[in-house]
Structure 1
């Protein structure tokens, strides 16, 4: 045995003897177990000592009686007295020890108990060791047999105090030595033979006692360890139940609850006594489970596992409690007793009502738009997919998609703030809910921003009526924080399976119809037809071809003359107009080109190109002729626009006073700081500003006082019916009065007849343009137009002064 093990065994309680019999001592236990093991070993030894005392007293009475006539009576009396005294002292100290340490034994108490037991055992062993020495030699053969048998029996008493090896050895070894000495004193051969046998017997007894002592230690060690582990497990379980939302449960073989926690009783809304009086199966079966079974309830599966004695894990169960449905998550598995017989179920449970409510809320939010509460885009695609699939089946009902986009929402959102915009969207959603509630076959969605959708199941006529109802209802005024807000809605309508058989195509075609509705003036609905798709395809083709066309020189500027309405009728300038001559197709109308370019932003590149090219070509014209270039509102709002103008003028050498930038009223809708700054910088530069299409927009007159412009161009709509409608001429007269007072030039567009030109001249309009004079012509035709146009107006240019 290693030295450290011997040292530990010494602390274990066997003292010096353990160092001599290390082979018989079990391996030292952990430090936390040693005191308890020593206490239990001493306790067992003291309990057995009471039984052993009775035996020793009986032997102490019988020996003097048997040897009273043949041995020294003084010795026999002394033997009786000493043995009786030791036995009495043993019983007394044993009782005293238990009384003193009834509430627990300290390490000092255990040490005292060990010393007490060792001293009494040694005293008793030495006393009995005198018996064979004093009685064997003079005894008769029969008496010798009694002595040998008595000595052998007393030696075997070492088994009784065997738990403490030192106590056993301190008692048995003196007795063995005394017996051997007594046999040896007789000097007889038979006695020596018996002595040898006695030694063999003693060795066997001592070895057996040592083994029994080791087994006792191991047994007590295992018991203490199991008890300690049981306490640890108990503490951990108590800590587990006290500090987590989970709790433990256990049933017997009949399914009745054997262990329930307070938290489990609280979760079920019952007392612990009520739960102990019922079974898990009855508890599960006591809740309505069939038609009323909540979605996700796993009670039926748990009942099947209980019946089949199979484990189950994390099954959700709904219980009807006093506060409503409570959701519990249960796990359990069967266990067996020591005989391997089924003894019941053990498991873990937790109340997940709150977490399930949170999960349901998350699931709701995952399918609902957070702002309006309508179904979101993800749900739209799922439902639309199912609807399109059903519509495509033979005999399937028509499914219609209404694609809604609010008109004027951006203006409200920008002017009143995003909070007002959100409130407006919520009110729109409420109206959509009211519309769909009146039409059970309709389902509303918010796709994002100010875009909504309604999926309708039913006849096309009903879907069209629903679209009109959306335009009417959503277009009614709104009140947001006491402020009136007015918006409209445009609706695109597409049908499955007539127009499309999948959600993406159906949405795309409804979008095309929506775009057409907005182009037609907004606040209306439009159904999809094949021409819209052809138009969209045409726009995609032109968009793809537009950029290379500009690079390859397919685009050019043509110039329409602006003619003075004075007596001379001369050309005062030209307006640069974009023309695209597409190979294989011919001329592409600007009415197609410009909206596409504006929607993609390519109009900015076209504007830069047109600005440079117009300035370059105008440098070859006679002095005094201006060139007007149309600039989109997108381009004009750029902070660097004035820099581009300056660069074009510097690169071409065209004087700033000969360049005129034409803009439309839409440029003022945003009223951004860049617009005002660019207008002022252009005026400071000497570039003229012309307001195109005047009179067709909103608040046109107010723009004349708010923004610096040099010219206004009256739209052709007023000229077309100038002869037949007196009010058109009245409007022009009013405009001219304002323009004269503000020192603003007036140009009239769309002049096609001499009569129109004469009326406009009489109203003192400054200039005109139109087919009466010339359509837009290539740059090479400009010199000819300058010469010929005064003749078309019925007047010749004034005679030139002689060079002389």
Structure 2
């Protein structure tokens, strides 16, 4: 058989039993996966609780060494005891350098397996030093001295196991050495009554070691959970960083008082101010001050944001206006509440984007929705909205109805008559004042809202101009078609108004006036009542 063919067989040979047992022991004593990519981080975290306790451990070791020296005062072995105490003191101070490094924040984030081995070696050295007075001191001490040494041994066993709990292998070695030392010392005394103490020491050591391993596993689980949490936070931070660097949107964060606490670079760039000058700014105040004279729509948007920030529910795509560089912009904000671990409100966090073009497109759609597609005049929906928002302003309402239009449709067809309606709308526009509202509310019905107070004479003159606009026939495809209309007029003056206006009541008055005008014949107008208190009376007029 060649060497090359023997090599795989040698490589697949079973490992010695002691090595397999050693690996199992290592895995049992390690509260995390040894193959984990975070193993080096976990090793560093394992050592930090030990480093934090290093000064107290050093003080306890020195004090206990002095107590042992006091027990053997006047004894022939006192020089040896003093030498031992000096060794304990020196050994206790070896960890202070590492403690100082940790205290100054310079402890490495990752540690090698060798670092853990050195910590375990130090635990073995400390246990071996304390094993000496147990093995050699117990037989030589008197009854009081033995009791003192046993108390020190039990205390060192318990305290050392719990301090070394993050390192189960070190804790196990420490407990095993001290337990054997105490038992060896008790056996060396030759006293039969110490048999119970030997058994109790074994039981005590097993319980302490089991508790230490349990604490180690709990600590390991916490380390792994924190590591997973840190990885998730780092991932979120990377995603947020990439989002801020590459996306057109920006992040914002407010405290419970509505002040900016996180100002992203993107938000800083959009506002044209450095992040440090924006931190602590009240967001609502920042937006409101940019618009010294907001329109009703802009005031409504500002109020919507104020209410959203005072609510508990998340909000999405809330559009708010602001002035940037002398230009009106619209932002779309989405956010949700921030709470701490106890559920207490901490503020808001969300994302924003520039929605100016989107808002402009929506305005175009709204305008199209508010206008009649055939004539380009306002439709009934826009008429209702403007009357509802008139806020007790005086106005005069003209209801215009085309007469005998169905006969024209029957004779000339719908297509030709649609062009007639377009001609009629165009002629009415020449009569309407700038700022007044002219709407088509039905196939043959129009409404004119003339804002402000009009005297009855001025209202009659406006109605007459509307009728005169239809004096000439409408010509479509060389067909001359006469069109007639009648008008009902309702005037609302401040002393006769009840705001907000009852739209149904207004249109009912207009219909009543139109009924009177129709009864009077074509090209006529009639006045309806001025106010609710004036219902019985009517005014009338005739077109020329």
TM-score normalized with structure 2 length: 0.64
Deviations 1:256-283 (A, max 9, x none): 2222333334445555445434323434
Which residue does the alignment assign to 2:152?
150
**Contact kept? 2:32, 2:220, Cα under 8 Å:** no
Give the 5 Å matches for 1:239-318. 239-268=242-271, 271-283=274-286, 285-286=288-289, 292-294=295-297, 297-318=300-321
1:57 and 2:72 aligned? no
1:224 and 2:221 aligned? no
SS of alignment partner, residue 183 of structure 2: helix
Which residue does the alignment assign to 1:408?
none
Q: In the superposition, relative to structure 1, how do residues 67 and 466 fare at CA in structure 2: closer, same or farther (>3 Å)? A: farther
Shift of 1:318: 1.5
Shift of 1:143: 0.9
**Contact kept? 1:257, 1:275, Cα under 8 Å:** yes
Q: In the superposition, relative to structure 1, how do residues 24 and 466 fare at CA in structure 2: closer, same or farther (>3 Å)? A: farther
Give the 5 Å matches for 1:494-505. 494-495=483-484
Which residue does the alignment assign to 2:528?
none
Shift of 1:176: 0.8
Which residue does the alignment assign to 2:132?
130
Shift of 1:113: 1.1
Distance 1:396 1:436 in 2: 13
Which residue does the alignment assign to 1:333?
336
Which residue does the alignment assign to 2:116?
114
Deviations 1:410-462 (A, max 9, x none): xxxxxxxxxxxxxxxxxxxxx999966533389899xxxxxxx9989766852
Which residue does the alignment assign to 2:45?
40
**Contact kept? 1:297, 1:318, Cα under 8 Å:** no
Give the 5 Å matches for 1:485-500. 492=481, 494-495=483-484
Give the 5 Å matches for 1:326-365. 326-361=329-364
Q: In the superposition, relative to structure 1, how do residues 395 and 77 fare at CA in structure 2: closer, same or farther (>3 Å)? A: closer
Give the 5 Å matches for 1:64-75. 64-70=69-75, 72-73=77-78, 75=80
Which residue does the alignment assign to 1:236?
239
Which residue does the alignment assign to 1:650?
none
SS of alignment partner, residue 75 of structure 2: coil
Shift of 1:151: 0.8
Which residue does the alignment assign to 1:462?
468
Which residue does the alignment assign to 1:772?
none
Give the 5 Å matches for 1:684-699. none
Deviations 1:322-381 (A, max 9, x none): 33221112233333333433322233322201222234456667889xxxxxx7439579
**Contact kept? 1:132, 1:179, Cα under 8 Å:** yes
Q: Which has the higher contact order (CA 8 A, sep 6+)?
A: 2
Shift of 1:149: 0.9
Distance 1:68 1:281 in 2: 79
Distance 2:381 2:222 in 1: 74
Alignment: residue pair count = 421
Shift of 1:492: 4.2
Give the 5 Å matches for 1:94-113. 94=98, 102=106, 104-106=108-110, 109-113=111-115
Which residue does the alignment assign to 2:217?
214
Which residue does the alignment assign to 1:621?
none
**Contact kept? 2:322, 2:329, Cα under 8 Å:** yes
Q: In the superposition, relative to structure 1, how do residues 329 and 495 fare at CA in structure 2: closer, same or farther (>3 Å)? A: farther
Q: In the superposition, relative to structure 1, how do residues 138 and 199 fare at CA in structure 2: closer, same or farther (>3 Å)? A: same
Q: In the superposition, relative to structure 1, how do residues 273 and 147 fare at CA in structure 2: closer, same or farther (>3 Å)? A: closer
Distance 1:145 1:234 in 2: 59
Distance 1:96 1:312 in 2: 50
Distance 1:461 1:100 in 2: 94
SS of alignment partner, residue 336 of structure 2: strand
**Contact kept? 1:260, 1:275, Cα under 8 Å:** yes
**Contact kept? 2:370, 2:379, Cα under 8 Å:** no
SS of alignment partner, residue 252 of structure 2: strand
Which residue does the alignment assign to 1:165?
168
Shift of 1:493: 5.0
Distance 2:483 2:186 in 1: 125
**Contact kept? 1:443, 1:454, Cα under 8 Å:** no
Shift of 1:253: 2.0
Distance 2:174 2:438 in 1: 99
Shift of 1:134: 0.7
Give the 5 Å matches for 1:276-675. 276-283=279-286, 285-286=288-289, 292-294=295-297, 297-361=300-364, 376-377=373-374, 396-399=399-402, 438-440=430-432, 462-465=468-471, 467=473, 492=481, 494-495=483-484
1:86 and 2:83 aligned? no
1:141 and 2:147 aligned? no
TM-score normalized with structure 1 length: 0.45
Q: In the superposition, relative to structure 1, how do residues 97 and 285 fare at CA in structure 2: closer, same or farther (>3 Å)? A: closer
Shift of 1:206: 1.2
Q: In the superposition, relative to structure 1, how do residues 224 and 291 fare at CA in structure 2: closer, same or farther (>3 Å)? A: closer
Q: Which has the larger radius of gyration?
A: 1
SS of alignment partner, residue 166 of structure 2: coil
Which residue does the alignment assign to 1:200?
203
Q: In the superposition, relative to structure 1, how do residues 222 and 30 fare at CA in structure 2: closer, same or farther (>3 Å)? A: farther
SS of alignment partner, residue 136 of structure 1: helix
SS of alignment partner, residue 325 of structure 1: strand
Distance 2:247 2:383 in 1: 44
Deviations 1:26-52 (A, max 9, x none): 464993433222211122223323431
Q: In the superposition, relative to structure 1, how do residues 99 and 333 fare at CA in structure 2: closer, same or farther (>3 Å)? A: closer
SS of alignment partner, residue 377 of structure 1: coil
Which residue does the alignment assign to 2:179?
176
Distance 1:185 1:114 in 2: 35
Q: In the superposition, relative to structure 1, how do residues 363 and 384 fare at CA in structure 2: closer, same or farther (>3 Å)? A: closer
Q: Mind listing any 5+ residue stretches in structure 2 that lack a counterpart? A: 1-19, 385-396, 409-422, 449-462, 488-521, 523-544
Shift of 1:467: 4.8
SS of alignment partner, residue 53 of structure 2: helix
